[in-house]
Amino acid sequence: MRQFLKFMLASMVGTFLIGAVLIMLFIGSLAALGSSFAMEGQPTKVKDGTILHLRLDQEFTDRGSKDQFMLNFGPFRDANKIGLNTLLATLDHAKTDDHIEGIFLDLTDMQAGFATMKEIHGKIAQFKKDSGKPVVAYSDTYSQGTYYVATAADAIYLQPKGDLAYHGLHSEYMFFKGLFEKLDIDVQFIRGSNNKFKSFGEVFTEDHMSDANREQNRVLMSGLWEEHLTAVSESRKLDKARLNLIADSLMVRNAEAALELGMVDGLKYRDEVLDILREKMGIEADKELELAELGTYARSFTPDYEKGGENKGKLAVIYAEGGIASGESEDGTIGSTDLSAAIRGAREDSTIKAIVLRVNSPGGSGLASDVIWREVDLAKKVKPVVVSMGDVAASGGYYISAPATKIFAEPSTITGSIGVFGIIPNMQGFFKNKLGITFDGEKTHQYADMMTVSRPLTEHEKTIIQGYVDEFYTGFKERVAEGRKMTTAQVDSIGQGRVWTGVDAKRIGLVDELGGLEDAIAAAAKMADLTDYKRVELPEQKDLLEQIVADLNGQARMWVATELLGEDMQLLDQYRKVREAKELTGIQARMPFDLVIH
């Protein structure tokens, strides 16, 4: 007992001290913030001869918080995410800003999906073409993703002892069948009939990939690699066959090889790259470079889309990012309640003439997806609704997109996954054999305990749940068929849980156009005959203080996990997914796997 009290007291004191430190840091940061720029939102000043310094090393999100850069320093910097909408608006403004001489693309790291990188790559290339201003890329180490973005620059430099990864793409799954067998847990995975590509449950029930899943992985990665090859080939003037040989033979093994093969323009230290910037931009050698970080520069102007002629009509951009669940949205989750309310509000607002729904979701709850689908379908009958797909818009993410007037996707968007599944773990053996726990009870009706995890499903119960899943899959196909003007047989032939790249999705009729968020906005405005209009972004965001508290809570949890596990953080993430297996007892419309491009 004495040791317990000592431990508890030490924990309380530690918690108090951490809280006190956080409060002092917060107060000090606010004071520093107040001295650096006016809290009332007065824009920062940009000097002549400024270079826009893009360090894109924070996690990307489709929509940045309204105060995303107010605390973009010190202990708060890592809590921020870069809004793709903000970056695109910044590059647009910098094109015509006489204070900006060019861009220094500092690509140490990027936490973004392939479609997001494609949109950034395209915007930088457009900046370069329209403005004639130089863009220089530099990194100590290029991943394949950051190198892809770098190919939009005029020149690419690499640290002399740095590295450039160029080895092709791979996918890897962690299978838990053996773990569950050791724990005496039987994961009862039920997917829609003929949903052979809906492979989410395989990681819980098998020890290897199914042939169908292997096939869709191969096709998907081939499509993504082709998009990558095209960009690199056009930028570096290297034949695709040559690039494939470089990747297949792992010819880029050091910085010198990257230079010899023509992948980069020079091996330079950071100070040498800064000298090159001075020369390119006509800045005297002894003069210090004026670099403006993204956060600083974004506070220097109001985006054009916020200054449009509101009385001539508005266009709403509604963001749906994360897994789909019932209730209110949380960080990384699309809540059906508030997203539906946002769509309904835009539909009922007569000043809003068109809606763009930005979907970046692997799906989730089938019920929640249907709730959102209803509002999209109702809105489409009143005004144009254009969907812009981000990195992923699959399963439930596609379900809510299907009724739109028009659908845009990036070539590297992952979409489709038209299929359904359910997971009901049987943990009877685990409780009895590992914990010594047994269950007993009474029930008033035969199926009152059908969804319990304390016993296995009977064959008849499995048949009933299979019926639920198949019924939802039939409804899913009908929703898509109605929205895409197909027959349900046509939808089934390209459904079955299979995922597609944006390029393939356009070929088979699941999307209408290839393009990014700005392309979708332009199309929606044209449909509604909008020229001088104001853009509004929905749902309403939290104010600064609420966002800080939410971000700090998330960062605190991540910091503790990272400190405890270090490089094994991926194991924690996989464990979380295993634990979710016992919670996914409802019908799920979710992408069959999570894909990270390396």
HSE of 256 in the Cβ direction (CA atoms, 13 Å)?
A: 0
Phi/psi for 245 (5° steps) reads -65, -40
Calpha distance 501→219 (Å, rounded): 9
Nearest to 497 by CA among 255, 256, 199: 199
The dihedral over CA atoms of 206, 210, 216, 220, expressed in degrees to the nearest 10, equals 50
What's the one-letter identity of residue 355? I
Calpha distance 569→549 (Å, rounded): 23
Residue 161 Cα to chain centre, angstroms: 32
Cα angle for residues 364, 367, 369 (degrees, 5° grid): 55
Cα angle for residues 378, 419, 598 (degrees, 5° grid): 105
Six-digit token pair at 128? 């370069």
Calpha distance 8→20 (Å, rounded): 18
What 8-state DSSP symbol labels residue 412? T
Considering 139, 300, 365, 395, which one is annotated as catalytic?
395
Active-site residue, 198 included: yes
Calpha distance 197→472 (Å, rounded): 16
Calpha distance 527→420 (Å, rounded): 34
What residue ranges in 17-110 does DSSP mark as E strands? 50-55, 60-61, 82-83, 100-106
Calpha distance 220→217 (Å, rounded): 5
Six-digit token pair at 134? 């130089």
What Å distances lie between residue 213 and 167, 198, 383, 474, 527, CA to CA? Answer: 22, 8, 39, 22, 39
Report which secondary-structure segment, H or E, holds 337.
helix 336-348
Q: Which residues pair with 514 in a beta bridge?
A: 409
Six-digit token pair at 409? 């996707």
Contact 409, 415 (CB under 8 A): yes
Calpha distance 419→166 (Å, rounded): 34
Calpha distance 461→357 (Å, rounded): 39
Contact 281, 102 (CB under 8 A): yes
Considering 123, 196, 198, 477, which one is annotated as catalytic?
198
What's the one-letter identity of residue 437? I
Say whether the peptide bond before residue 43 is cis (omega within 30 degrees of 0). no
Q: Which residues contact 347 (CB under 8 A, 6 or more apart)?
A: 355, 375, 378, 379, 382, 383
What 8-state DSSP symbol labels residue 455? S
HSE of 446 in the Cβ direction (CA atoms, 13 Å)?
A: 4
What residue ranges in 253-382 does DSSP mark as E strands? 266-267, 290-293, 314-321, 323-325, 333-335, 352-361, 363-365
Which sequence positions are flagged as catalytic? 198, 395
